[in-house]
Amino acid sequence: MSAGETFGRRLHAAMRARGPFCAGIDPHPGLLTAWGLDDDATGLERFARTAVEALGETVAVLKPQSAFFERHGSRGVAVLERVVADARATGALVLLDVKRGDIGSTMQAYADAYCDPASPLCADAVTVSPYLGFESLRPVLDTAAAHGNGVFVLALTSNPEGPEVQHARTADGRTVAGTMLDHVRAANAAALAAGDPLGGVGVVVGATTGGNGEDLAVGGPLLAPGLGAQGATVADLATVFGAALPQVVPSASREILSAGPDPRALREAAVRTIEDVRDLLFRASAEA
């Protein structure tokens, strides 16, 4: 990472150079079995490092899902540390998917773990949950910004239980998700005013959420999980994100990983998705 270079600038450059796509690294037990690997720390390491080797020089963002490493205990976390380091060495940005949400000193401890370069788990960006109140995220937001890292805030998730919280209305009539989007928009204002192409605070909006009626132009990147195995297609992105489509970073995990363990097949699956997204953006631009 260049000194003083913000996450928004790094991500924007990576998306332009490699295409707007994030490949998840989810060492699910079923995928380990499908790859002919044992469901242990050794199989985990072979799986994850093969994915990094195959995809790291092709995609803009790699997104390890921390839970699938943590389930193997200390050996799994050690693998995750190596995967983060290996992935960053390929030139891909690393988004560590941890979805942490807490308060006070505990949240600061998470910030130190994932956003401070002194930690072996420090990534380019991290996912967090704001549903203890947006300001509960302040330790992560401030620590990430201090080190030029990014934060992706859950806003509109694709799981069926999400709407009972995210679509609920606050006293002023806004949805809870809309309130979080407003907070993110405010958090990115200074970076945009300084000339950054993207703010360092993004949001997670599932590609399966349909026309959700929210203003998704938050000044930061829009991580859109759900392509492939979760049911969304590249074409659905235009419906969900509308005018905010150029800020979208679509994400797929099982759709890509199921092509393994052959590295070439993994790479080709990612390239096909990147080309489909680029075609969608080209058509949207031509129609604008």
Cβ within 8 Å of residue 14, ≥6 positions away: 60, 61, 91, 92, 93
* Structural domain boundaries in the chain: 7-287
Q: Which pTM does this prediction carry?
A: 0.96
Residues known to be catalytic? 99
Look at the block and give the residue holding tokens 């407003």.
182
Mean pLDDT (the chain, rounded): 95
For residue range 119-166, list pLDDT tens digits in order.
999 999 999 999 999 999 999 999 999 999 999 999 999 888 999 999
Closest CA to 259 of 22, 26, 35, 23: 35
DSSP codes, 178-226: HHHHHHHHHHHHHHHHTT-SS-SEEEEE-TTS-S-------SS-EEEE-
Convert the pLDDT of each residue in 36-46 to its tens digit. 999 999 999 99
CA atoms within 13 A on the CB side of 9: 13
Q: What percent of the chain stands above pLDDT 90?
A: 88
- Please give the Cα distance from 175 to 164 (Å, whole number): 11
Bond preceding residue 130 cis, omega within 30 of 0: no
Please state which architecture CATH assigns to domain 7-287.
Alpha-Beta Barrel (3.20)
In the DSSP assignment, the letter for residue 135 is: G
CA distances to 69, 204, 284 from 155, in Å? 25, 6, 24
